[in-house]
Amino acid sequence: MGCMELTIDPEWAWEPRKGFRGLPRELRDTIYNMVLIEPSKWERRHSPLCDLCPRDTGTFERPVFDDKSSCKCRLRRNMGLLLANRQLHRETAPTFWSQNAFHFDTASDFAENVGSNLRQEYVELLQRVSILRVTWQDYQTDWSTRRERPPSDSEGSAMWQALFRCTALKYVEMGTENIFRTWTPFGEEDFDVTSFIPKLRARLPQLKEFALAMILVYDVNPKTSRVDLVTGWWDAPPMSQRHLLYIKATKPTDLDEITTADEAKEAVRSFNTNFAVHVRFALETTLLGVDENNFSTDPNDLFSPNYALANDLNDNNTSQVLNLRDETAAIVRLLGLPISQQTRIRHVKERWREDARRKSAGKPTVWEEKYRSVMQERQEAKRAQRVEDAAKAHQARKDARETRREEAEAQEQRQQRKAQAKERSKLARSERHAQEIREAERKRVRSPK
């Protein structure tokens, strides 16, 4: 009988699940774009769940870039995707570095983070860079500590050298203090790196736009935006009472018309002395209720008219077209405006959905979590106070015992001194009595019988 061979064909074969990395690369790239690409620093808003998000239409929304401590809305999200593993990092890094806009407050920040800390392979991916900070005026004396120090010559040169390494840049936005600045009252050149401007076309061949920009701040609360007529100083109310409005104005520069450092310097001067003044005039007379006759060309002058924001301005119309006095137009962004009724309702619904999601997961709502957190903090404060009070009472009892011991020792020492004094007095009396007896005996012996 010959050998028989049995063959069993399996109905299915087990295969491991491919998971996220099993998706097509095009689909993964779409997901990366949705997750990693975020609005620019100036356009980010507070989450409806954030404590700084306004709950009514009369409260001004404090921009996320104005607070660097108590709010996390300014931070980028989903950064953990870049740190998951090396393959995901290789796939996500080009999307993150090339599609996002990166903002830096000062020239030194840009030179340090991009010029020194960032890998060259990522430096060459950057396409949008903004080096801009909020312009606090000199009359805002109570905000003076928030103003950044102007860049030095070395910091300015380092910034431009780092900028030239970003060979893929397409959009650059910059404050004029990083290019040219006259600091002395006589107009002497204190900081000048305008020689780098004519080199932009050659060093950055993909550059499409180089723009000069500024961000102004106005307190539009009529109760606080005023000058004390007695002292002549600008009022300094608490931050909670201010209605701060931030205005971002940008002016693109035609690099083809700038071939020398003098032309670059003239472009900066024109921005500061013409464009900025015209924008301020249009803003204050059109949107902030200032009469044309009361407008001052000096941004640091103290003037009496109160700022009052137009009633129809909210977060639905943050972009405004201003007709300037030189018959040109400028598009400005209004940041920090009050929220509209539609935004308020949308935020309320978002908070409701978050509460429903938490309840379905068996977790406390946001309000309950805050309440528990507050109660826990109060209980911890009470416990700490009780511990502190007990320690103080223990120390007081200890001090009282020490005081009583010292008083007892002092009393004992006084009694000992009294006894010693009494003994010395008794001994002295005895000696005097003995001396008297001896003297009397000598007299008796010497006297004749």
The tokens for 217 are 């701040």
**CA 272 to CA 278: how far, in whole Å?**
10
pLDDT > 50? residue 185? no
pTM over 0.75, yes/no: no
Contact 196, 216 (CB under 8 A): no
CA atoms within 13 A on the CB side of 110: 32
pLDDT at 144: 42
Beta strands in 176-290, from DSSP E residues, in sequence order: 180-182, 189-192, 209-219, 244-253
pLDDT > 50? residue 64? yes
The tokens for 323 are 């007709």
**Of the ranges 21-35, 46-60, 281-295, 400-414, which is most confident?**
400-414
pLDDT at 305: 55
Strand partners, 191: 181
pLDDT > 80? residue 199? yes
Average pLDDT over residues 273-302: 80
pLDDT at 186: 47
For the chain, give every domain's residue range.
39-75+100-359, 364-443
pLDDT at 439: 86
Map residue 182 onto helix, strand or coil. Answer: strand
**CA 151 to CA 57: how far, in whole Å?**
39
**CA 260 to CA 6: how far, in whole Å?**
89
**Of the ranges 143-157, 180-194, 240-254, 285-299, which is most confident?**
240-254
Q: 């005097």: which residue's tokens?
A: 432
**Of the ranges 63-67, 146-150, 209-213, which is most confident?**
209-213
pLDDT > 70? residue 318? yes
136 pLDDT band, cuts 50/70/90, is: low
CA atoms within 13 A on the CB side of 18: 5
